[in-house]
């Protein structure tokens, strides 16, 4: 069964066709990577899926229900979680309060505390829970973003370039985290780091100039000539 | 000591101090403090929208006046006694703030400031237009006989002081409770990063609407009490000046702190009071002090205290 589908999804900003006629299917439990060169329309596509950007045309289905008309906050309540590409934590609030804000959407009272500690522990930030988010290093802010996604216990976790700016050791931890989550949580991962994609994704979708260029297992994509051309140029 | 204990001790301590001061203050300062407590309640209401939610309204005089006229007009023309009139004032605040919120919250930033300012001006002009009932700028006096609340004469200084203290205590504790409640914490998050809050699944419009109605209602309660305690209702309380005052008090005292509105109102009141004793150009002294404060304590008095010493201050 498909958790998420799009049909004919398009977005143009005045003359610029950012995303064009994308049919996309994500089955329950899969880890899907969404890759493509800069400006391929990845963030726009994901923005339309989670309701940040209104599509010019096309429809979005979650759990096989048409959610195209739903505002973002209602989509989140259906079980989506979105972590921002550009770190968007509440910098003047403590790390724990950042995660608690995400947790309080589904939990109340003492359960919030427990869930917050668990999520911070998962990303290795437990001992920094009282620090202001703005005082954390960039890499730690990225991890805090991920903890805010995890604590929502989403059915679909959308991660927009989560490893950008992380140190190698943190990337290793991140890969382990995704593997732990895989199976329970459906994950849509926008990622530039091919190493992360190869090691974590079940399937890969390649976007180029707003269109789906290829789809397949990481190995198939790795060997795909069109993908190589898109990334490296046909020179 | 836990943060909760310290918070209760500090805010409870202030209320106990204000209670005790009633017995020792000379008549002049006694009257001043009653007035300050009512105006500080207005500032507490303003702070919920501006300090905690991050929405800068330039139209709060509309809510203050809605309370004042909702109370005084029902006394004057419908023959209400003080208690139902007070409720009518508060109800007027709920209705007016809800209506303005539904319109103004479609905008953000500077547009929000302009829309709130314009509606407040429209409210002010409406009061002048219906001068037959409101007596416009001149206003009207609420007679001593009309100021009896449950048999207590509110024109009598001691009663007035306790009424003002009750109002202030209610507003202060309500605001303290609110910001420790998940709803209030969400408001703070909206101030910090609204888009992120939306993407955590919160209906930010509904939260801002709630904040504006709470803020407007507290302001109206202050307006209604002011009229009742000091026996006068006039259009000047609906003028733009009364929208700027709470902004100034909150900025000086510390936006987004529970005690800030009181400290700011107290400071500003006595700044003008003392400087006018020195020179007729007292606004010059007040102005210089305000400039210095903005330069050296940009987070306001309580805000600086929090940034430097008491990190736990709510």
User: Mind listing the pLDDT tens digit for each residue in A64-113?
Assistant: 899 999 999 999 999 999 988 777 889 888 999 999 999 998 888 888 88
pLDDT band at A234 (very low <50, low <70, confident <90, very high): low
The alpha carbon of residue B265 is apart from the nearest alpha carbon of chain A, in Å, by 26
B237: its two tokens? 């309380």
B236: its two tokens? 């000047």
- CB-closest option in B182, B192, B204 to A104: B182
Q: Does A67 touch chain B (CB under 8 A)?
A: no
Which 85-114 residues of chain A touch chain B by CB within 8 A? 88-93, 97, 100-102, 104-105, 108
Provide the domain count of chain B.
1
pLDDT, residue A235, reads 46
pLDDT, residue A66, reads 92
The alpha carbon of residue B196 is apart from the nearest alpha carbon of chain A, in Å, by 7
User: Which pTM value belongs to this model?
Assistant: 0.87
Over residues A218-229, the pLDDT tens digits come to 888 888 888 777
For residue B188, list chain A residues with Cβ-Cβ distance below 8 A: 93
Q: Does B132 touch chain A (CB under 8 A)?
A: no
Question: Domain A1-78+192-235, what fold?
Answer: Rossmann fold (3.40.50)
Give the pLDDT means over successive 10-residue stretches in chain B (314 positions): 84 88 85 93 96 94 95 87 91 96 92 94 92 82 77 83 94 93 93 91 94 96 94 89 91 90 92 84 82 85 83 80
pLDDT, residue B299, reads 86
Q: In the predicted model, is pLDDT for residue A63 greater than 70?
A: yes
What count of CB pairs under 8 Å joins A to B?
52
pLDDT, residue B10, reads 87
Mean pLDDT of A150-172: 88
Is the residue at B226 inside a domain?
Answer: yes
Q: Does B185 touch chain A (CB under 8 A)?
A: yes
Domain borders along chain A are 1-78+192-235
Is the residue at B281 inside a domain?
Answer: no
> Where does chain B show beta strands of DSSP type E?
140-141, 148-149, 152-153, 232-233
- Interface probe, candidates A62, A77, A90, chain B, greatest B C-beta count within 10 A: A90
**Is-contact A84 A158, C-beta < 8 A?**
no
- Count of CB atoms within 10 A of residue B14's CB? 17
Is the residue at B72 inside a domain?
Answer: yes
Q: In the predicted model, is pLDDT for residue A22 greater than 70?
A: yes
pLDDT, residue A232, reads 64
Q: Does B203 touch chain A (CB under 8 A)?
A: yes
Q: Which of A36, A89, A67 is nearest to A211 (CA)?
A: A36
Tell me the pLDDT of chain A averaged across its residues: 87
The alpha carbon of residue A142 is apart from the nearest alpha carbon of chain B, in Å, by 14
Name the residue with higher pLDDT: A45 or A232: A45
- Measured distance CA(A99)–CA(A187) in Å, rounded: 19
pLDDT, residue A233, reads 61
- CB-closest option in A92, A102, A108 to B200: A102
Is the residue at B114 inside a domain?
Answer: yes
Q: Does B307 touch chain A (CB under 8 A)?
A: no
CA distances from A188 to A1, B41, B261 (A): 16, 49, 47
Over residues A123-137, the pLDDT tens digits come to 888 888 888 888 988
Name the residue with higher pLDDT: A146 or B90: B90
- Measured distance CA(B117)–CA(B302) in Å, rounded: 27
Structural domain range at position B66: 17-252
For residue B203, list chain A residues with Cβ-Cβ distance below 8 A: 71, 73
């Amino acid at each position: 069964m498909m958790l998420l589908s799009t049909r004919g999804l398009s977005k143009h900003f005045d003359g610029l066709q950012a995303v064009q006629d994308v049919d996309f299917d994500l089955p329950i439990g899969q880890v899907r990577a969404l890759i493509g060169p800069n400006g391929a329309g990845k963030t726009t596509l994901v923005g339309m899926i989670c309701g940040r950007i209104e599509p010019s045309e096309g429809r979005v289905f979650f759990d096989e229900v048409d959610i195209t008309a739903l505002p973002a906050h209602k989509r989140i309540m259906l079980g989506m979680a979105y972590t921002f590409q550009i770190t968007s934590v509440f910098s003047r609030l403590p790390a724990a309060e950042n995660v608690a804000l995400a947790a309080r959407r589904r939990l109340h009272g003492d359960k919030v505390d427990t869930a917050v500690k668990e999520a911070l522990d998962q990303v290795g930030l437990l001992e920094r829970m009282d620090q202001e988010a703005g005082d954390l290093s960039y890499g730690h802010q990225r991890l805090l973003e991920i903890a805010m996604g995890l604590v929502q216990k989403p059915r679909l976790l959308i991660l927009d370039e989560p490893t950008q700016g992380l140190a190698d050791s943190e990337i290793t931890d991140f890969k382990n985290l995704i593997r732990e989550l895989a199976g329970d949580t459906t994950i849509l991962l926008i990622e530039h780091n091919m190493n992360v994609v190869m090691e974590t994704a079940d399937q890969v979708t390649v976007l180029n100039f707003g269109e789906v260029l290829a789809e397949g297992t990481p190995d198939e994509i790795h060997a795909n000539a069109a993908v190589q051309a898109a990334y490296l140029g046909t020179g | 000591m836990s943060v909760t204990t310290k918070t209760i001790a500090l805010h409870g301590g202030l209320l106990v101090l204000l209670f005790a001061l009633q017995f020792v203050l000379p008549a002049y300062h006694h009257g001043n403090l009653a007035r300050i407590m009512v105006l500080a309640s207005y500032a507490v209401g303003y702070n919920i929208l501006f300090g905690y939610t991050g929405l800068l309204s330039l139209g709060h005089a509309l809510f203050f006046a809605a309370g004042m006229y909702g109370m005084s007009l029902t006394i004057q023309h419908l023959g209400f006694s003080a208690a139902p009139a007070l409720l009518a004032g508060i109800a007027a605040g709920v209705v007016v703030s809800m209506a303005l919120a539904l319109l103004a919250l479609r905008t953000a930033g500077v547009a929000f400031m302009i829309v709130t300012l314009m509606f407040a001006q429209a409210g002010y002009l409406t009061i002048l237009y219906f001068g037959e009932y409101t007596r416009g700028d001149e206003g009207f006096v609420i007679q001593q006989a009309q100021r009896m609340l449950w048999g207590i004469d509110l024109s009598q200084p001691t009663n007035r002081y306790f009424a003002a203290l009750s109002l202030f205590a209610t507003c202060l504790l309500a605001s303290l409770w609110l910001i420790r409640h998940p709803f209030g914490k969400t408001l703070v998050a909206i101030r910090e990063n609204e888009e992120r809050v939306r993407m955590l699944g919160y209906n930010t419009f509904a939260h801002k609407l709630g904040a504006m109605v709470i803020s407007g209602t507290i302001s109206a309660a202050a307006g209604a009490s002011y009229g009742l305690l000091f026996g006068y209702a006039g259009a000047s309380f609906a003028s733009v000046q009364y929208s700027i005052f709470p902004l100034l008090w909150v900025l000086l005292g510390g936006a987004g702190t529970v005690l800030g509105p009181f400290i700011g109102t107290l400071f500003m009141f006595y700044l003008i009071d003392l400087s006018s004793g020195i020179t007729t150009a007292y606004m010059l002294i007040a102005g210089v002090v305000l400039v210095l404060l903005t330069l050296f304590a940009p987070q306001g008095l309580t805000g600086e205290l929090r940034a430097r010493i008491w990190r736990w201050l709510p």
